Amino acid sequence: MEKNNTSKDSIKILNRRSFIILTIGLFLSLIVVIRLFSLQILNFGFYKKKSVENKVSVKATPPLRGDIYDTTKKLLAGNSSSYEFVIYKNLNKNYQKEIEKLNSLLSLNLNLDEINKKLYKFNQYSAFKITSASWEQIVSFEKNKFLFTSIKIIELKKRYYPYKNLSQIIGYLGRSNDSLDLYNKGVFHLEKSHDDLLKGKPGKIFNEVNSKGKIIREISIEEPIKGKDLNLTINLDLQNYCQSLLPKNKKGSIVIIDKSDGSILSMNSNPTFDAQVFEDRKNKEINNLLNDESKPLFNRAFSGFYPPGSVFKPIPALLGLQNNLINENTEIFCKGHSSLKDRNYYCWKKRGHGKVNLKKAIRESCDVYFYELAKKTDINDLSALATNLGLNQKYELGLSNSQSGLVPNKKWKRAYLDESWYQGETLITCIGQGYNLTSPLQLANLYSAILNGGKYPLPRINKESDIIYSGKSFNINYQNILLESLMAVVQEPTGTAFKLNNLHPKYVKIGGKTGTSQVIRIKEEEREDDLYKTKDVDDRFKDHSVFVGYAPLDNPKFIASVIIENGGSGSSVAAPIAHNALNFAYNLDV
Amino acid sequence: MFKEIKSLFEINWIYIFLLLIIFWIGEINLYSAANGSLDPWAMNQLKRFIIFLPIFFFIIMLQPKFIFNIADILLFLVAIGLILTLFFGYTGMGAKRWIRVAGFNFQTSEFAKIALILFMAKYFHKLNAEKTIGFIKALIPLIISFIFFLLVAIQPDLGTAVIILILGLISIFYAGINLIYPIISLVGVALASPFLWTLLKPYQQNRIKIFLNPDLDPLGKGYHIIQSKIAIGSGGKNGNGFLGGSQSSLDFLPEKETDFVFAIFSEQFGFTGSMIVIALFLILFLIPIIKSFKLTQVFNKLMLFVLSFKIFFEFLINISMTIGLVPVVGVALPFMSYGGSSLLSNLIICALLLNFMSITEKKRMFS
């Protein structure tokens, strides 16, 4: 072998080394192929999903909330659009200049310092509300749109409450504490309790976005589904009329129900509030509402509990009849007071009523008759009967702050006051004072129970809800006695509400019962001293005026329950209001 | 200096054809990387290709003897270039990699690879060893490889530096160094690696950790590799179709025109497309290798083998990067990544390969 030529051995070595390197190279290629196979074939689904997640962003679109209507399909709560000027800081570095421009263009008189201060801390990608936009402002903004890059107009769907006096039934919406809820939800009254029905289903917009989150195109849209409508038993005309009947400067409530099916036809409370301020986020007004001592957020019809006064008397009367403690003709003598264990219990009429039977006792609201009856009455029986007639319980209406009130019994007193029951307390309870607490709605329901003969439809406010009956029927003779007495209250000359006939002779004839709910427990001496006279006391300590009535007399359908706080006697204040309301309802023929 | 014109017809046209197909696939890919636009990449790359064609044919026509003769000078020039780059080069992507010559920016390290391989071929050819080579005789190539490694590593461009070192070591291995030394080195590195780990700075350790588990830093260093794997994986069997890759079109893939072109390709054409590209590169790799077996002169054999290996090796490393097999080190995909230096250096390599594939060896070509 020539010296200058490469030896055969050396070529062999080189070729052998080639094979080693080639083998390693092909082995590495194989690993790459296996890895690709694993990524693209075996784990394709996983990466495909990741890829879709990368590029698809889902944006929820709010659904329209269901409307709320009255029984005649008039809109009580609906949806409206409003517009706002908003700014996105990220769209223009000199965003402050743009706000100044907007301010001078539309003469908005904005507090620029305050806005800039808030805006300074605000997320640059989110819409910051500058101010709400009127139609004229939108038009002139659009004409000068080229001046603005970071200011936009957005449309907001808002809840719309046209009638202020229904806020205490319908309620309002608020921010949800649950982060899963994208939108405002009902936080008060029917808006809260019927939220699932009303809220609807949000739509979804699937957008394709790039790596910076910019929307490239719309992929698909799932339209939002509007919530279901809610139809109420409320009659808007009656509701408005009743609100006008309540004295502006007095707190009070009036409830009208239909005895035949328990429908609440109107339910007013004074003072009331405007739910729109919550929807419009008017914080100052909201604060005023929350701090108002007259509690305008408080619906007195079902959250206001008062001693019922004499309107309670049909219950001990019925109990007396049922337990044979009295009969229609049982007479007692009222000399102005009754005594039990050297303590005197007084009738409202100091001179006394003389000989009194049941009908006269109700007609003229004789207290002594019921004191005498109470002496034979077991408080537990009374409480049980009251519960049976709809007191002492709350109704599932979906209204916030509903309470059950109280008709006391021995067990209750032991549990809450840790004291045993005194018979004297039964006396006070039988005339509707003492521990007794009832709401105007409960009292309306009590009279519905009496008019229905014991088995009565529970109050309802959702027109589509089922009619549920409650209570036990009682002897029809007893019902006749009670109704005759209640009729006499208004129709007979000595009745406590007879003057209604002179006031409005042409109005529908009604029956009912007056009541006076004591605000402070007057000491016996004061009563005796004659110090206690309605006209002399400070307004604050005046009695609440109560009346529950029904119409028409021959075939009762409407029941009105009225309370005017510190209004004085039932006959002079509450009764005319109830008569007016019943007459209106009767002529409305709902 | 030049071959006769007629030798132009004797070159391996299949190889050129293959090269054109791969380049064309790269062009289509750059077009799709720009969401169906020739701008900014596909057209530019095509212009470069056309500009480089004269250089390509110029090298094909050079006399092998001439190339053999200038190998040392090239090495010297490239070494100067690397040093100048360190002082006068301008910075891009965090490293001084480019030097400006005649209005063009050259990434000197790309050309260092070629010069080093040619030098190796000439050195071992001249060594004319009859048996395996001892450590002493491999010392000069080893030192030069390490010098080049260091010059590039301090730019800093660790990826390219490691490739240069590997190419140098492969050359020495191919030339027939006694197997005992590579084995000792491998065992030594393996034993020393825990110690080397502690020598690494915390951020370097961090990079390796993130490479091993990209989810440690999904929005930072791990982002590239996560998005690249999503692109490739979502391609599936047959891909999302031409221009159908959302990872690419919606900009989820960073550096999609350079390091991650393969992800774009694979997202569009799936496993099938990937296999076709791998097959094309494999054939491109093997054609000069097969020729190298038939040749007998060390210079010819070594430069054919290692130069061809260089293209395939970079191809493998780049793909491995995009599928998370090796860390993201900034190695371009030959003929498919956007970039002038990589294209030019690989075209030069192909021209050299074509040149030497067409030679008929006389008894002793070089001395």
Task: Tell whether B362 is covered by a domain.
Answer: no
CB pairs under 8 A between A and B: 141
Minimum-distance CB partner of A22 among B289, B316, B325: B289
Q: Does A80 touch chain B (CB under 8 A)?
A: no
Tens of pLDDT along A342-373? 888 988 888 889 999 999 999 999 999 999 99
Contacts of B234 in chain A (CB under 8 A): 44, 47-48, 50-51
The whole-number pLDDT of residue A1 equals: 31
Q: Is the pLDDT of residue B169 over 50?
A: yes
CA distance B322 to B252: 14
How far is it, in rounded angstroms, from Cα B134 to Cα A306? 112
**Identity of the residue in A4, A10, A37 whose CB atom sits nearest the CB atom of B271:** A37
Read off the pLDDT band of B363 (50, 70, 90). Answer: low
Residue pair B335/B346 in contact (Cβ under 8 Å)? The answer is: yes
Residue B90, pLDDT above cutoff 80 = no
Upper half-sphere CA count for residue A151 (Cβ side, 13 Å): 26
Write out the E strands in A65-176. 68-69, 75-87, 128-133, 151-160, 173-174
Cα–Cα distance for residue pair A29/A12, rounded to 1 Å: 25
pLDDT digits (tens, 9 = 90+) for A555-574: 999 999 999 998 877 778 89
- In a domain, residue B367? The reply is no
* Predicted confidence band of residue A129 (pLDDT cuts 50, 70, 90): confident
List the structure tokens of A408: 């006391």
Chain B nearest-CA distance from A132, in A, is 36
Nearest by CB to B251, from A6, A32, A211: name it: A211
The correct CATH number of A236-588 out of 3.40.710.10, 3.30.230.10, 3.40.50.10860, 3.50.50.60 is 3.40.710.10
Rounded Cα–Cα distance for residues A163 and A27 (Å): 82
- Structure confidence by residue, pLDDT tens digits, A236-247: 999 999 999 999
Task: Give A55 to chain B, closest Cα distance, Å.
Answer: 7
- Residues of B with CB below 8 A from A35's CB? 320, 323-325
Residues A412-431 have pLDDT tens digits of 999 998 999 999 999 999 99
Q: What is the pLDDT of residues B315-360, one digit of tens each?
A: 999 999 999 898 887 889 999 999 889 999 999 999 999 999 988 8
Residue A304, pLDDT > 60, answer: yes
pLDDT at A183: 76
- Give percent of chain B above pLDDT 70: 96
Looking at beta carbons, which residues of chain B come within 8 Å of A53?
Answer: none
The enclosing H or E element of B182 equals helix B180-199
Structural domains in chain B (count): 1
- Do A166 and A461 touch, CB atoms closer than 8 A? no
Q: Are A40 and B275 in contact (CB < 8 Å)?
A: no
8 Å CB contact of B271 and A17: no
Tell which of A2, A46, A51 to mutate to test the B interface (max B CBs under 10 Å).
A51
**Which residues in chain B touch residue A56, judged by CB atoms under 8 angstroms apart?**
none
A411 — contact with chain B (CB < 8 Å)? no
Residue of B174, B250, B278 with shortest CB distance to A29 = B278
Domain layout of chain A by residue ranges: 60-231, 236-588
Percentage of residues in chain A with pLDDT exceeding 70?
93
pLDDT for residue A532 is more than 60: no
pLDDT higher than 90, residue B210? no
Q: Span A530-552, mean pLDDT?
A: 72
Are B234 and A29 an interchain contact pair (Cβ–Cβ within 8 Å)?
no
Judge whether A209 is closer than 8 Å to chain B, CB to CB: yes
The partner residue sitting opposite B247, judged by closest CB among A29, A33, A54, is: A54
Give the gap in angstroms from C-alpha B182 to the nearest C-alpha of chain A: 12
The stretch B185-209 carries a mean pLDDT of: 82
Residue B218 lies in a domain: yes
DSSP H or E stretch at residue B343: helix B340-357
Tens of pLDDT, residues B222-243:
788 888 999 999 999 999 889 8
Per DSSP, helices labelled H in A307-439 are 314-322, 358-363, 367-375, 379-388, 410-417, 423-430
Query: Over chain A, what is the mean pLDDT?
Result: 87
Taking 50 as the threshold, does the pLDDT of residue A530 lie above it? no
Banded model confidence at residue B208, pLDDT cuts 50, 70, 90:
confident
Is the pLDDT at A168 greater than 50? The verdict is yes
pLDDT for residue B7 is more than 80: no
Q: What is the dihedral of CA B57, B63, B69, B70, to 10 degrees?
A: -20
Give the closest residue to A62 by CA, choosing from A158, A172, A178: A158
pLDDT confidence band for B103 (50 / 70 / 90): low
Q: Which of A103, A102, A95, A104 is closest to A127 using CA atoms?
A: A95
> Is B366 inside a domain boundary?
no
Q: Which has more pLDDT, A505 or B220?
A: A505
Take residue B17 and report the two structure tokens written for it.
Answer: 């054809």
Residue A40 and residue B274 in contact, taking contact as beta carbons nearer than 8 Å: yes
Distance, C-alpha B15 to centroid of its chain: 18
Determine the distance in angstroms separating the CA of B51 from the nearest CA of chain A, rounded to an integer: 33
Q: What is the mean pLDDT of residues A246-257?
A: 93
What residues in A contact B325, CB-CB < 8 Å?
A: 31-32, 35
Give the contacts of A266 (CB within 8 A, at least 6 positions apart).
Answer: A234, A235, A238, A239, A241, A242, A254, A255, A256, A581, A585
CB contact A180 to B (< 8 Å)? no
State the residue for tokens 């808007």.
A236
Q: What is the mean pLDDT of the segment spanning B134-152? A: 92
b/e per residue B257-280 (b: at least 16 CB within 10 A): bbbbbbbbbbbbbbbebbeebbeb
pLDDT confidence of residue A529: 41
pLDDT at A179: 57
In B, which residues are within 8 Å of A34 by CB distance?
none
Measured distance CA(A456)–CA(A449) in Å, rounded: 5
Residue A36 and residue B129: Cβ atoms within 8 Å?
Answer: no
Whether A354 contacts chain B with CB within 8 A: no
End-to-end CA distance of chain B: 16
Supply A47's token pair: 């990466």
Q: Which of B170, B252, B289 sits opposite A211 (nearest CB)?
A: B252
Q: Is B150 left (phi over 0), alpha (psi -120 to 50) or beta?
A: alpha
Q: B87 vs chain A: nearest CA distance in angstroms? A: 37
- Best of A39, A42, A219 to disrupt the B interface (most B CBs within 10 Å) is A39
Question: Which of B177, B250, B306 would best serve as a mutation to test chain A binding (most A beta carbons within 10 A)?
Answer: B250
**Mean pLDDT, residues B250-255 taken together:** 81
For residues B353 and B59, what is the distance between their CA atoms, to the nearest angstrom? 10
> Residue B201 above 90 pLDDT?
no
A29 CA to chain B: closest CA distance, Å? 7
A404: exposed, middle or buried (C-beta count within 10 Å: 0-12, 13-18, 19+)?
middle
What are the tens digits of pLDDT across the range A454-496? 999 999 999 999 999 999 999 999 999 999 999 999 999 989 9
Residue A31 sits at the chain B interface (C-beta within 8 Å)? yes
Model pLDDT, residue A61 = 81
What's the rounded Cα separation, in Å, for the pair A56 and B242? 20
pLDDT at B99: 79
Domain topology for A60-231: Penicillin-binding protein 2a (Domain 2) (3.90.1310)
Q: How confident is the model at residue A206 (pLDDT cuts 50, 70, 90)?
A: confident
* Residue A538 pLDDT: 64
Token look-up 């799709």 returns B32
State which residues form the domain around B194: 5-357
Residue A51's pLDDT is: 87
Phi, psi of A269 (to 5 degrees): -145, 140
- CB-CB under 8 Å, B301 with A4: no
Locate the chain A residue with the closest alpha carbon to B363: A5
Instruction: Compare all CA atoms of chain B with the CA of A208 and give the residue at the minimum distance.
Output: B250
Higher pLDDT among residues A397 and B218, named by residue = A397
Q: Whole-number mean pLDDT of chain B?
A: 89
CA atoms of B341 and B339, how far apart (whole Å): 6
* Helix (H), strand (E) at residue A551: strand A544-551
In a mutational test of the A interface, the residue from B130, B181, B266 whose CB has the highest number of chain A CBs within 10 Å is B130
Residue A33 has pLDDT above 50, yes or no: yes
Interface contact flag, A35 B282, Cβ < 8 Å: no
Of B236, B292, B319, the CB nearest to A32: B319
